[in-house]
Amino acid sequence: MSTIFAKIINREIPANIVFENENVIAFKDINPQAPVHILVVPKKEIPTLNDIKPEDKNLIGEIYLAIGEIAKDFNIAENGYRVITNCNQYGGQEVFHIHFHILGGEPIGPMRA
């Protein structure tokens, strides 16, 4: 693994980690786009959504359970939040290790094309 996320997982670079278990890590985004902006990353390197395999289904479920826990911990669950995952260049993916953005803490406008 050689992405910035792999370096965070391996503790080679610092991050403000807010959640971690055996398979998932979550940390504050260094360029937040909302008052709460957390990245949730599997510790297993999966480059894009297109690379998820059937054997990863439990891991993906675990990620979504972590997202719910994090939303509650940051007091955004009740008012709502957005979860975004980008896939490949045209989808806006910059780091090729799947990750899920949790955005909340204020009203979020409509999605734009």
Active-site amino acid positions: 99
Nearest-5° Cα angle at 65, 59 to 71 = 135
| CB 51 within 8 Å of CB 60 | no
CA distance 78 to 50: 31
88: which residues sit within 8 A by CB, 6+ positions away?
A: 48, 50
111: which residues sit within 8 A by CB, 6+ positions away?
A: none
Residue 69 token pair = 């826990």
